[in-house]
């Protein structure tokens, strides 16, 4: 099986010109099959504000009404995705931008309303790797925006970390998948106020302990749940690290292990 | 050679819910290879206004400064394109949305400044049909937004009629291409105030005459120039008709001929 590197980059990195420029360069230099998954939440919030659309978050999750869905479709699917694609082309990387609706790559269902109505938010139910694989066989690198669809015509907003882990898990059928969550920190920190407190290795046992004693905070938990789900689905390696470490093989970060 | 139908739909049709819904249904029912090219100018203008970005037009052409480029990237590449893709999926048509930057499909150069500085507007210099053909061999229907790129990282705004004719011309290498320009009228009219004054057949000779005597007005000239360019590049048929006629083989419209 061939190797496939899936890089998920947080919004902050793709939304600032200097870090985006560096990321495009670094991602382009990764050899072999590769997929970039991006966020864009900060840009969406800023655009919503400009349009007078109120951003409502509950426990860090965006409530997506029709107006907000239009905003994220514009920002994630259009502005952020196409800016990245054109930028990668400029770096000699033959990229193609997709949402989950394109070629029916990621199908989801609108999250059922229990205590909270998240609106047009999709929980992934199916990932279709056929056409993605054909693209990669042609040397093309997919760039995924965090949008999915329900197959009945409805676009849905889906967390980018989840998109990355779902893609990673599904693609293990054809590739040896390495999943890298990049953000502006060097890894998972044991002390959020100390950038040098990187946890270099985090296994299920230690994760449970850190979650219980509060060492690992709320913001990091969904990302780690996604990381463990990927590992439980045959992903070879999950690394959480600084985007600046992307092209430094010896660079440190948090290696997540079962 | 297989047949390929390229349908270009004007903004008005994709921007109104009822006509969009009908279009998605009709386009989905076209058998064989097909590509949909869309505009979105009215939505871009409306979004720009909401964002306080001024729309400047010279002779019907949009001046695209950096702010307007962001708006059209969001609206064409995101909102309109992905709404169409999800809608086609809902109609059983496996669609994929692209701009010219994706897979380097359409490369352009920023229009040189002569009398007018159009800003980030691209004139097409190269169309790459390889990956588009691979997609269509898989039964997938591309949906093209009117954006291109310069290969150096810059997105550019490009007229949708031009995108349609350039794609049509390039794809004659592999397909028998039929190009249909759809809009809200039944065809090219000899009297703009009389919807029944459709010119059913328009050849080069008649076009010259109608252009000279003013029968064919300014708005229709760029579309017709694109139509004739397509025919001069081996496109089998160019039809200008009402979107409502898309699935009626016997429906009338303007057949453009050399």
| pLDDT surpasses 70 at A67 | yes
Examine the pLDDT at B237 and tell me if it is beyond 90.
Answer: yes
Joined together, the tokens standing for residue A198 give 């990187």
Q: What six digits make up the tokens of B206?
A: 């008649």
Q: What residues have CB less than 8 Å from B209, skipping those under 6 apart?
A: B215
- Looking at per-residue confidence, does B155 or A17 come out higher? B155
Domains of chain B and CATH, by start: 2-184 (3.40.1160.10)
Residue with the larger pLDDT of the pair B238 and B248: B238
Tokens 């990187």 correspond to what residue?
A198
Cβ–Cβ gap A149/B101 under 8 Å? no
- Residue B80 contacts residue B13 (beta carbons within 8 Å): no
- Rounded to the nearest 5 percent, the helix, strand and coil shares of chain A are 40, 25, 35
Instruction: Specify the pLDDT at position A249.
Output: 66
Residues of chain B contacting A94 with CB distance shorter than 8 Å: 103-104
Q: In B, what residues contact A, Cβ < 8 A? A: 24, 47, 50-52, 70, 73-79, 81-83, 85-87, 89-91, 94-99, 101-104, 130-131, 134-135, 138, 140, 147, 149, 151-155
Q: CA of B101: which chain A residue's CA is closest?
A: A86
Chain A residue whose CA is closest to B139: A103
**Whole-number pLDDT of residue B98:** 98
Q: Which helix (H) or strand (E) holds A116?
A: none
Phi–psi pair at B157, nearest 5 degrees = -85, 125
pLDDT at residue A250, rounded to an integer: 67
Per-residue model confidence as pLDDT tens digits over B20-66: 999 999 999 999 999 999 999 999 999 999 999 999 998 778 999 99
Question: What's A248's DSSP letter?
Answer: -
Is the pTM higher than 0.95? The answer reads yes
Tell me the two tokens of residue B21: 């819904």
B244 min Cα distance to partner chain A (Å): 21
- Per-residue confidence (pLDDT) for residue B250, from 0 to 100: 66
> Please, what is the Cα angle at A110 between A109 and A114, to 5 degrees?
120
ipTM over 0.90: yes
Instruction: Please state, in angstroms and as integers, the Cα–Cα distance from residue A3 to each residue in A24, A113, A179, B102, B214, following that order.
Output: 20, 39, 11, 23, 63
Contact A44, A76 (CB under 8 A): yes
CB proximity list for A208: less than 8 A, separation 6 or greater: none
- Give B75 to chain A, closest Cα distance, Å: 6
pLDDT over 90, % of chain A: 86
Burial of B110 (0-12, 13-18, 19+ CB in 10 A): middle
Q: A interface toward B at CB cutoff 8 Å?
A: 24, 47, 50-52, 70, 73-79, 81-83, 85-87, 89-91, 94-99, 101-104, 130-131, 134-135, 138, 140, 147, 149, 151-155
Alpha-carbon B89 to chain mean position: 20
Minimum mean pLDDT among A11-20, A50-59, A92-101, B120-129: which range?
A: A11-20
The pLDDT value given to residue A58 = 87
Rounded Cα distance, A46 and A40, in Å = 10
Give me the half-sphere count of Cα atoms (radius 13 Å) on the Cβ side of residue A104.
Answer: 20
* Contact flag A135-B138 (C-beta cutoff 8 Å): no
Q: Which of B21, B74, B92, B136 to mutate to test the interface with A (most CBs of A within 10 A)?
A: B74
The owner of tokens 């609206």 is B75
Of B247, B199, B248, nearest in space to B227 by CA: B199
- Give the per-residue pLDDT at B60: 76
pLDDT at B249: 66
pLDDT of residue B177: 98
pLDDT band at B15 (very low <50, low <70, confident <90, very high): confident
Tokens of A175: 């590739």
Return the ∠ at Cα A61 (arms to A57 and A66), rounded to 5°.
70
Looking at the complex, report in whole angstroms how far the Cα of residue B50 sits from the nearest Cα belonging to chain A: 6
Burial of A39 (0-12, 13-18, 19+ CB in 10 A): buried
- The model's pLDDT over B156-202, given as tens digits with 9 standing for 90+, comes to 999 999 999 999 999 999 999 999 999 888 999 999 889 999 999 99
């Amino acid at each position: 099986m061939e190797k496939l590197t899936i890089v998920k980059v947080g919004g902050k990195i793709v939304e600032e010109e200097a870090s985006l420029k560096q990321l495009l360069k670094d991602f382009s230099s990764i050899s072999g099959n590769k997929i970039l998954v991006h966020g864009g939440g900060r840009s969406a919030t800023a655009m919503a504000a400009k349009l007078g659309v109120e951003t409502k978050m509950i426990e860090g999750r965006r409530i997506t009404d029709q107006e907000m869905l239009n905003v994220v479709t514009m920002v994630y699917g259009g502005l952020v995705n196409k800016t990245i694609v054109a930028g990668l082309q400029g770096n000699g990387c033959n990229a193609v931008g997709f949402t989950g609706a394109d070629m029916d790559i990621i199908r989801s269902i609108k999250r059922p309303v229990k205590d909270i109505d998240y609106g047009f938010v999709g929980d992934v139910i199916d990932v279709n790797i056929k056409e993605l694989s054909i693209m990669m066989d042609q040397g093309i690198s997919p760039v995924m925006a965090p949008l999915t669809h329900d197959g009945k015509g409805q676009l849905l907003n889906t967390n980018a970390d989840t998109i990355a882990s779902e893609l990673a898990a599904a693609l293990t059928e054809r590739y040896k998948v390495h999943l890298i969550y990049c953000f502006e920190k060097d890894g998972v920190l044991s002390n959020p106020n100390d950038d040098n407190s990187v946890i270099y290795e985090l296994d299920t046992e230690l994760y449970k302990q850190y979650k219980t004693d509060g060492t690992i905070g709320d913001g990091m938990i969904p990302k780690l749940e996604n990381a463990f789900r990927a590992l439980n689905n045959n992903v070879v390696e999950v690394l959480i690290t600084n985007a600046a470490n992307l092209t430094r093989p010896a660079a440190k970060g948090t290696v997540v292990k079962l």
